[in-house]
């Protein structure tokens, strides 16, 4: 099970490099296996006991591990000491930016969430507004920014953190790999908040497309845990895709890999353009198009089906109700699945990912019943065997991905320099 650890530890390296490798191996084991004694570390890494004793001293001195107990009620002494990672050595901040809401999570160095809160915004950027009529006038970026920063500070305080070591932000739109700036038509308060957090210089700030972070969450904790190569097909207000090949997220030359909304597909009556995806896959599988498809099949939104203060599109409730309705809604779900399969077929023809995960609010609402229907249609369109799965991380996929991205970055810095 742990042969790769032992093999890596035995490679020829300079003393300093060997110490860094050994320290990182020990830290990775303490994260994956939990609390361990020095003897258990020696057995799992293949290192000698004196070498393990030295690395334990180093890691304790660096404040990365500590004695957390003893193994066995009757055992005492140095050999019985259990060591664990000091989770509070660094705090991480994950943010999920939506058009009308912000969700913040503070986690420890192991990625365990210590505090979380969601702040709703009205459609014009005004916190708490229920609809446009309740918030007349232009977007109030200053108010939205102040409220967002207060949410960040309040969540940090709730978690007992003075400041974050690393921040990861998930947002809709393209992230330019050259400038690190957010593109697209996101609300002005998104850019304002990202800039304000960078200006604080309180920690490393990572900015990533929301769909890419959702894919990271599904890869680590969800439906794609057994896959090195897969595509996450995002079905929400709009459409998108995240591409993971050989275990690595692929963003493309300009950060635009996965802009599947622009994919030309039959059934739209027109072609997309460089300035709009109205004639592309978005026109078939975006939330507005799904709502129209539901109406064509006599499906209507139930009163109260949408909770207050939510960014979820009405199409989510329509799909969720259709799944619950069973056979009565089968024609609508089949028609929707046929549309989704067109986009999936285009992805499969180019990438052959072997697995497509349906994410986003609508993919989550459709669950396994929708995924099975998409798989059936896709099998008739493509000769490439492709597993279609519903995402399993749930409504916090982007936030979970942000926490995981922040954890990776923090651990790379802290664990890499431990020796």
pLDDT in tens, the chain (419 residues): 454 444 444 456 688 888 889 999 999 999 999 999 999 999 999 999 999 999 999 999 999 999 998 876 555 666 789 999 999 999 999 999 998 889 999 999 999 999 999 998 865 334 444 343 333 334 489 999 999 999 999 999 999 998 899 999 999 988 988 888 888 778 889 999 999 999 988 789 999 999 999 999 999 999 999 999 999 999 999 999 999 999 999 999 999 999 999 999 999 989 999 888 889 999 999 999 999 999 999 999 887 666 655 678 899 999 999 999 999 999 999 999 999 999 999 999 999 999 999 999 999 999 999 999 999 999 999 999 999 999 999 889 999 999 999 999 999 999 876 55
Cα(266)–Cα(134) distance, rounded to whole angstroms? 40
Q: Is the pTM above the cut of 0.85?
A: yes
In residues, how long is the chain? 419
Lay out the sheet containing 387-390: strands in order across.
248-250, 239-245, 230-235, 355-359, 387-390
| Confidence (pLDDT) at 126 | 45
Query: What's the pLDDT score for residue 130?
Result: 39
Q: Is the dihedral of CA 333, 385, 232, 257 positive or negative?
A: negative
Q: Which helix (H) or strand (E) holds 208?
A: strand 204-209
Element (H, E) at 168: strand 166-171
Residue 275 confidence (pLDDT): 86
The pLDDT value given to residue 129: 42
Confidence (pLDDT) at 305:
67
Tokens of 297: 């099949």
- Do 277 and 283 meet the contact criterion of CB atoms below 8 Å apart? yes
Write down the pLDDT at residue 179.
Answer: 85
Nearest to 398 by CA among 77, 169, 112: 169
pLDDT, position 357: 98
pLDDT score at 124: 37
Cβ neighbours, 10 Å, residue 256 = 15
Q: Which pLDDT score, from 0 to 100, does residue 349 have?
A: 96
Residue of 403, 402, 350, 355 lying closest to 375 (CA atoms): 355
User: What was the pLDDT predicted at 419?
Assistant: 53
């Amino acid at each position: 099970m742990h042969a790769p650890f032992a093999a890596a530890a035995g490679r020829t390296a300079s003393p300093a490099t060997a110490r860094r490798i050994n320290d990182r191996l020990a830290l990775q084991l303490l994260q994956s296996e939990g609390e361990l004694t020095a003897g258990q570390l020696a057995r799992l890494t293949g290192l000698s006991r004196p070498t393990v004793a030295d690395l334990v001293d180093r890691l304790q001195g660096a404040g990365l591990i500590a004695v957390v107990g003893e193994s066995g009620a009757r055992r005492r002494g140095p050999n019985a000491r259990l060591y664990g990672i000091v989770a509070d050595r660094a705090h991480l901040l994950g943010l999920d930016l939506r058009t009308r809401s912000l969700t913040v999570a503070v986690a420890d160095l192991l990625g365990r969430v210590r505090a979380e809160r969601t702040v709703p915004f009205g459609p014009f950027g005004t916190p708490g507004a229920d609809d446009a009529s309740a918030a007349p006038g232009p977007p109030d970026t200053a108010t939205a920014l102040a409220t967002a920063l207060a949410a960040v500070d309040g969540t940090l305080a709730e978690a007992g953190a003075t400041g974050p070591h690393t921040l990861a932000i998930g947002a809709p739109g393209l992230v330019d790999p050259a400038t690190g700036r957010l593109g697209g038509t996101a609300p002005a308060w998104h850019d304002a908040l990202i800039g304000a957090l960078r200006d604080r210089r309180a920690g490393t700030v990572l900015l990533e497309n929301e769909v890419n972070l959702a894919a990271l969450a599904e890869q680590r904790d969800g439906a794609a845990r057994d896959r090195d190569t897969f595509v996450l097909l995002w079905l929400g207000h709009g459409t998108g895709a995240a591409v993971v090949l050989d275990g690595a997220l692929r963003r493309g030359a300009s950060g635009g890999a996965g802009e599947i909304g622009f994919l030309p597909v039959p059934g739209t009556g027109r072609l997309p353009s460089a300035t709009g995806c109205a004639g592309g896959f978005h026109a078939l599988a975006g939330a507005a198009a799904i709502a129209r498809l539901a109406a064509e099949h006599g499906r209507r939104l139930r009163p109260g089906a949408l909770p207050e203060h939510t960014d979820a599109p009405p199409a989510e409730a329509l799909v969720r109700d259709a799944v619950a309705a069973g056979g009565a809604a089968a024609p609508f779900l089949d028609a929707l699945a046929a549309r989704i399969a067109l986009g999936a077929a285009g992805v499969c023809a180019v990438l052959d990912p072997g697995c497509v995960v349906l994410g986003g609010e609508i993919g989550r609402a459709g669950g396994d019943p929708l995924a099975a229907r998409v798989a059936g249609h896709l099998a008739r369109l493509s000769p490439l065997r492709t597993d279609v799965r519903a995402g399993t991380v749930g409504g916090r996929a982007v936030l979970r991905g942000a926490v995981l991205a922040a954890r990776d970055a923090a651990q790379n810095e802290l664990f890499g320099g431990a020796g």
